[in-house]
Amino acid sequence: MSGLGNDLRQVVRGRVLMPGEDGFEYASTPWNLAVRQQVSAVVEIADAADAAALVRFAAAAELPLSTRATGHSPSAAADGTVLVTTGALDGIEIDAAARVAKVQAGAAWQPVLEQAAAHGLAAACGSSAVVGVTGYTLGGGVGWFARSRGYASDAVRALEVVTADGDQRRVTADSDPDLFWALRGGGGDFALVTGLEFELFDAPELFGGRLLWPAERTEAVIAAFHRATAEAEEGLSLWLTLIQFPPFPELPEFLRGQSMVAIDVVALGAVTAPLRWFDGIPGAVLDTRRPLNAAEVGGVCMEPTDPSPARVRAELLTEFSPEVSDALLAAAAPQGSVGPLALVQVRHLGGALARPAADAGCAGSIAEPYLLSLLGPAPTPEFEAAVAGRAAEVAGAMRPYLSGRKPFTYLDSGETPDVVFDTATLARLREIKDRRDPDGLFRSNYPVAPALGEADPTRVEAPATV
């Protein structure tokens, strides 16, 4: 390994870390601590030229590369690769007149939203502002503004990449339509992306926040959620969450160890009329709803910002009828408790997500109107097994209402893109991968095809899949 480390240090200007060296353990650990990636080296590239030099070296040495900005969606597919981290590539440029953002591959959503908000603009971000822009967008990206703006990848106008032959290229719909299509929703399996250019949008009137009740109000909140989403305009996003708060001392006493039910909302424009269905439910212990700017939307759900171990299972729901509401209530919240699952969440989709953009990438569209997400802490194998078992129980009870598909950015370690894409789309992605990266140099967290000569690296034994 010392030979590889020396060779890499001759090639790149960024820091190189090898197993056993100070800093390697920290640098090789993803944000989701439940997944351990056994990489052969970590290279913290300094800039796009560094990335190109590394790609040329790796291609000649037959070393597969994986890439990470923040590490929110890791998998075992990175095992055996040289891990490329992009944290030093954090440049952001906002062209307010053109309503365009140019960001480097290591930028997270929060600084992008802050700079956009200074001009009254917003971007198609997710629920957490600490997530990396690039990885989220390469996976499609389904967030707060998806009902009105579609996938985050739909807003992409250009990508700066290093291809498998080591060339630095600007990829657009005109310059390279196949690669442009595959990178917008197909993950990082086709090139090393060093930057993105994407459209922003006007957000002069934003409103949002969280409503929180004790678990005894779950049935009433679910019923109101059903009514509200049935009439919601596309600018209104509503998410229902059953929450089991941990007994941590850093939490407010009224939340510590309690089971609760929440409604999270972000409204773009004057579309808040359906919120009246929640106003008559008594006993709310928290109401943070207020006018927002784009820089504040990442705090609506109060998601953790520090690394933590967790497992998630996501499913797309074909409906949210009273029958589905009853099934969810019975399966996920007996007496208001979700057991080893910290969160059981239903996000209202539809709107622009159900209408593929004229120049959509491979993410396509989502016909299903709701997304079910099940998440639990996994600090030990025992916790992980309990989370997996409970998630399987809930999903099993909901099975008549599940389509069997899920968004790319909701894949968990052990899952593969065949549950994301239809047969024709997956076949085209694999053809592009075979043609543009025939030696399998690039390894995304969820490869569209197994590495050459190997079993599918994302397939692992239970209970890692939840």
Q: Which domains does the chain have, with CATH numbers?
A: 2-85 (3.30.43.10), 92-202 (3.30.465.10), 206-410 (3.40.462.20)
pLDDT band with cut points at 50, 70 and 90 for residue 331: confident
How many CA atoms lie within 13 Å of 275's alpha carbon, on the beta-carbon side? 22
For the CA atoms of 124, 129, 131, 132, the dihedral, rounded to the nearest 10 degrees, stands at 60
Q: What is the DSSP string of 1-50?
A: -HHHHHHHHHH-SSEEE-TTSTTHHHHH--SBTT-----SEEEE--SHHH
Q: What is the pLDDT of residues 168-222, one digit of tens each?
A: 999 999 999 999 999 999 999 999 999 999 999 999 899 999 999 999 999 999 9
Q: What is the mean pLDDT of residues 98-114?
A: 97
pLDDT band with cut points at 50, 70 and 90 for residue 456: very low
* Res 358 pLDDT > 90: no
Write the CA distances from 71 to 33, 39, 95, 340, 454, integer angstroms.
9, 14, 28, 24, 24
* Res 252 pLDDT > 50: yes
Helices (H), 275-421: 276-279, 322-332, 381-397
Q: Which region among 75-79, 123-127, 249-253, 267-271 has the lowest average model confidence (pLDDT)?
A: 249-253
Residues ≥6 apart with Cβ < 8 Å to 318: 368, 369, 401, 402, 403
Q: What is the pLDDT of residues 6-19, one digit of tens each?
A: 999 999 999 999 99
Q: Please work out, in degrees rounded to the nearest 5, the angle formed at the alpha carbon of residue 421 by the alpha carbons of 177 and 397.
A: 160
User: CA-CA distance, 463 to 38, in Å (whole number)?
Assistant: 19
* Res 413 pLDDT > 90: no
- Backbone angles phi and psi of 281, in degrees to 5: -85, 115
User: CA-CA distance, 81 to 228, in Å (whole number)?
Assistant: 47
User: What is the per-residue pLDDT for 333?
Assistant: 61
Q: Quick one: what percent of the chain has pLDDT higher than 90?
A: 80
User: What is the per-residue pLDDT for 330?
Assistant: 82
Q: What is the pLDDT of residues 136-162, one digit of tens each?
A: 999 999 999 999 999 999 999 999 999
* Res 396 pLDDT > 80: yes
Coil, helix or strand for 336? helix
